[in-house]
């Protein structure tokens, strides 16, 4: 009677010890404190889930389709999802009985020179009772890893689409800069012709000729460098779409000016919308399940086994129905001494869970910061564009006036070169800011976690909302 009471008390203690093995509950995310709205001035409203449709250029959609089909890193992530699913099947199989058909044959020789044979054919069944939920926790961990892998795949799709668009506009920006440099080179050539003509007439000095020739050589070098930059950007785009980077992709479109704004939602919605954050959350839950499994490894295991078959001294006895027999066994095993192995594994699982929790919270803060930065950067870029636009107009007037005054002998050629450089820099800056606005807008969509939902557009435009 006393032994029975001890066993009951022991089982009750073990069961209670298995109840509170999960440290991350379903209310964890809801308890994360987030601000009610973004801190920087922004446009209110729900986040767009079809932002790619706002770029109506057919080439963009064709390139996105090719990238989603052919990009090697995305295909690798797809394989990793399948690998996670196979690990789930492996882990889940432990919850099911095993069925094995075995055929054993042996022949022995005794010390008295007697020979004997044995032949057995049996069907064996094995099953481990998941009394503490240990096997269920292992399957739960594997299932969460599958879900995390799927969300990671979704995030890589978003990153890839954003990368294709950013690189496509970068090529357009590079070609626009190349055309500007070419026009600048033609102006410098005209200036050199005028100055050399004036030098032959005794109107200009040799110094002016040398300065004009130096400027011509500098512009030719810049044009060659820009051509190399465009080729490099085209090859980067070709790599993203999964083709050989030979720099032959033809891109022809205008660089638009973004003047619109996009709704950015509220911070709390970002946690359940952005695939990268969802993947990180599943990783955290998987670590929590791993801790529960490590904890329950320290409790007894109960196994059942059954055997049904026949055997005898002759081979035909193994297939004889008259020799059929069965056996049913049960076993219980509990760890008594393992030099702290299981305790250390549980402690390790706890530290890994804590590290994963801090990593998840840090990922959240990074995601919030990224959105805040992109919102503020867009405002700053739009202000920079307007100021640079005014500077460009003034620089063009100064360039024209300085050359006229130089021809009248009122200013030196150095003044002309300085005015021309300022005008060129202002025009180049306007092109760069346009591209930066587009890049920032795409990265804002990416930071907000909205889906691109690719569809074929009807109208042709380069605006992205």
Q: Give the C-alpha separation, 256 to 240, whole Å.
A: 23
pLDDT of residue 1: 47
* DSSP β-ladder status, 115-129 and 98-109: antiparallel
For residues 292 and 353, the answer to whether their CB atoms sit within 8 Å is no
Place of tokens 């706890």: 350
Tens-place pLDDT, residues 106-158: 888 777 778 888 888 888 999 989 888 999 999 999 999 999 999 999 999 99
The whole model's pTM is what?
A: 0.85
Q: Does residue 8 fall inside a structural domain?
A: no
Q: Give the C-alpha separation, 169 to 435, whole Å.
A: 7
Q: Give the C-alpha separation, 136 to 143, whole Å.
A: 10
pLDDT of residue 181: 94
Instruction: Look at phi and psi of residue 124 and say left if phi exceeds 0, alpha if psi is from -120 to 50, else beta.
Output: beta
Tens-place pLDDT, residues 232-279: 999 999 999 999 999 999 998 899 888 888 889 899 999 999 999 999
Where residue 416 sits, what CATH number does that domain have? 1.20.1600.10
Q: Does residue 37 fall inside a structural domain?
A: yes
pLDDT of residue 177: 94
As to burial, measured by CB atoms within 10 angstroms (0-12 exposed, 13-18 middle, 19+ buried), residue 198 is middle
Nearest residue to 198 (alpha-carbon basis) of 397, 409, 355: 409
Q: Does residue 315 fall inside a structural domain?
A: no
Tens-place pLDDT, residues 416-445: 888 888 999 999 999 999 999 999 999 999
Q: CA angle, corner 159, sides to 366 and 428, nearest 5?
A: 90
Highest mean pLDDT (candidates 102-111, 286-295, 314-323): 286-295
Tens-place pLDDT, residues 4-50: 444 444 445 444 444 456 788 878 888 888 888 898 777 788 888 88
For residues 434 and 173, the answer to whether their CB atoms sit within 8 Å is yes
Q: Does residue 308 fall inside a structural domain?
A: no
Q: Does residue 453 fall inside a structural domain?
A: no
The band of 71, judged by pLDDT with boundaries at 50, 70 and 90, is: very high
Q: Does residue 36 fall inside a structural domain?
A: yes
| Number of domains comprising the chain | 1
Which residue range(s) make up the domain with 171? 20-98+131-301+341-448
Average pLDDT across the chain, whole number = 87
Q: Does residue 107 fall inside a structural domain?
A: no
**pLDDT over 60 (residue 325):** yes
Q: Does residue 204 fall inside a structural domain?
A: yes
pLDDT of residue 64: 94
């Amino acid at each position: 009677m006393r032994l029975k009471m001890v066993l009951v008390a022991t089982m009750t203690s073990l069961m209670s010890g298995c109840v509170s093995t999960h440290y991350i509950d379903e209310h964890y995310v809801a308890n994360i404190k987030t601000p009610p709205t973004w801190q920087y001035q922004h446009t209110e409203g729900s986040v767009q889930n079809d932002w790619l449709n706002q770029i109506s250029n057919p080439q963009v959609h064709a390139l996105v389709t090719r990238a989603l089909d052919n990009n090697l890193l995305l295909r690798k992530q797809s394989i990793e999802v399948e690998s996670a699913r196979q690990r789930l099947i492996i882990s889940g199989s432990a919850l099911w009985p095993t069925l094995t058909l075995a055929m054993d044959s042996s022949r022995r020789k005794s010390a008295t020179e007697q020979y004997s044979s044995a032949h057995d054919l049996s069907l064996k069944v094995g099953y481990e009772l998941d009394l503490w939920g240990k096997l269920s926790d292992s399957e739960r961990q594997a299932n969460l890893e599958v879900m995390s892998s799927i969300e990671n795949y979704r995030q890589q799709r978003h990153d890839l689409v954003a990368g294709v668009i950013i690189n496509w506009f970068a090529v357009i920006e590079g070609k626009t800069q190349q055309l500007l440099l070419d026009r600048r080179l033609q102006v410098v050539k005209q200036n050199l012709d005028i100055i050399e003509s004036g030098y032959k007439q005794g109107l200009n000095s040799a110094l002016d000729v040398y300065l004009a020739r130096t400027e011509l050589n500098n512009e030719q070098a810049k044009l060659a460098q820009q051509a190399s930059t465009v080729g490099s950007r085209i090859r980067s785009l070709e790599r993203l779409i999964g083709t050989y980077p030979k720099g032959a992709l033809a891109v022809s479109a205008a660089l638009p000016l973004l003047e619109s704004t996009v709704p950015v939602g509220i911070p709390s919605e970002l946690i359940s919308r952005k695939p990268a954050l969802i993947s990180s959350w599943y990783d955290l839950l998987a670590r929590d399940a791993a801790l529960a499994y490590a904890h329950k490894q320290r409790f007894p295991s109960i196994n059942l086994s059954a055997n049904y078959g026949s055997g005898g001294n002759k081979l035909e006895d193994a297939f004889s129905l008259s020799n059929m027999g069965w056996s049913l066994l049960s076993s219980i095993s509990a760890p008594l001494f393992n030099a702290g192995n299981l305790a250390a594994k549980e402690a390790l699982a706890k530290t890994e869970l804590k590290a994963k929790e801090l990593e998840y919270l840090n990922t959240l803060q990074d995601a919030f910061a990224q959105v805040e930065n992109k919102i503020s950067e867009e405002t700053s870029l739009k202000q920079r564009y307007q100021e640079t636009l005014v500077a460009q107009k003034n620089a063009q007037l100064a360039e024209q006036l300085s050359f006229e005054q130089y021809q009248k002998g009122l200013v030196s050629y150095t003044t002309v070169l300085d005015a021309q450089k300022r005008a060129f820099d202002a025009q180049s800056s306007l092109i760069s800011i346009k591209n930066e606005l587009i890049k920032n807008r795409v990265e804002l969509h990416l930071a907000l976690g909205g889906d691109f939902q690719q569809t074929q557009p009807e109208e042709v435009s380069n605006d992205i909302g």
